Structure 1
Amino acid sequence: MNQAHEKCLVHLVLGGARSGKTAFGMRLAEEAAREKWMIATAEPFDDEMKARIEQHRQERDHSWRIVEEPVDLVEALQSYATDERVLVVDCLTIWLNNLVIHNIEAKARIAQLCEFIKRSTNKIILISNELGMGLAPETPLGRSFRDLHGKMNQDIAHACGKVTFVAAGLPIALK
């Protein structure tokens, strides 16, 4: 491990849908600091997503502070990161989706996030799906998103000091 990763307090948690990755990330946060902040990236584009967002709000106890930031993730991390807090970003997959939907240059934003991670001295837990283990998407857009997402996960994993994969609620340390 190089010196940059020794100082890095950013932890990437990967897993499939409903794998337990967010619950694991929240448990890590509970152990890391008394002041816990969630940076939620979901936008309520439809009724089903509105219901999911509301369900997530109900599942968190009142000790969590919530910031909703669907696009400007690095700015939110810079604004809210302090030595006393742990920040949990839920999730990078939805964030990337938002960038694509809003026609924002995703590769540049991913590079910006990776540079922030490498410099960060704050406790941050990033949650992301692992999309590449399932069937190949049927459409060119789906395959393009899967490929961009896989590269994003690789770049962020490389920048982070710790990486954990969660399957069936069980964490597996990768880095």
Structure 2
Amino acid sequence: MKHLVLGGVRSGKSAFAQEQVAAGGKAVCYVATSQVWDDEMANRIRLHKENRPKEWQLIEEPLALASVLNAFNSPDHAVIVECLTLWLTNLLCLEDETRLAEEKHALLTAVACFQGDLVLVSSEVGLGIMPMNALARRFGDEAGSMNQALAKLTDRVTFVAAGLPLPLKS
């Protein structure tokens, strides 16, 4: 089962995604893509850690996400990745177009080939106003394209708003 979970900030997407991966009954590997840039982000990360089961394996990988998925590619594994838009931000901040293209391609290939349970969490950023600066517009374009590509590769897609899951693809 491959499941893409989309939603806005504080929409409930993380809690929903964690419920989905836990329901499979397999040992879970939680792949965190965030990096601590400031105190507020450190607090967000702390809250996420407190809200997930302690027995889940944690791998922190801000860039080489496909390599982690490839390492856990087995029907016996359950993996949750949070969050793909943070991962995309990390890559965009490198200002290395070659690396960005390579990592995006590698991710899509890894997702397509993944044999275990996989829950991917990503923000839906295209519901607001058009951003005023070029980097923000680029981020929205890249996130939208990535979410569309992942939606094609996953069995299920759920949009979460106000804590309510809305199935888009099942």
Deviations 1:31-68 (A, max 9, x none): 01231111000011222211211121122221221110
Q: For residue 79 of structure 1, report the CA deviation from its aligned partner.
A: 1.5
The structure 1 segments of at least 4 consecutive aligned residues displaced by more than 4 Å after TM superposition are none
1:117 match? 111
**Aligned mate of 1:58, from 45, 50, 58:** 50
Letter in 1 for 2:166: I
1:90 match? 82
Contact 1:81-1:87 within 8 A present in 2 as well: no
Percent of paired sites with the same residue:
38
The separation in 1 between residues aligned to 2:47 and 2:166, in whole angstroms, is 27
Alignment gaps of 5+ in structure 1:
1-8
| Structural RMSD (CA) | 1.4
Q: For residue 85 of structure 1, report the CA deviation from its aligned partner.
A: 2.5
User: Residues 122-141 of structure 1: matches in 2 within 5 Å?
Assistant: 122-141=116-135
The separation in 2 between residues aligned to 1:80 and 1:48, in whole angstroms, is 31
Deviations 1:101-120 (A, max 9, x none): 12343233222211222222
The separation in 2 between residues aligned to 1:65 and 1:173, in whole angstroms, is 28
The separation in 1 between residues aligned to 2:85 and 2:38, in whole angstroms, is 17
Deviations 1:132-153 (A, max 9, x none): 0012112111111111111111
2:66 match? 74
Contact 1:39-1:87 within 8 A present in 2 as well: yes
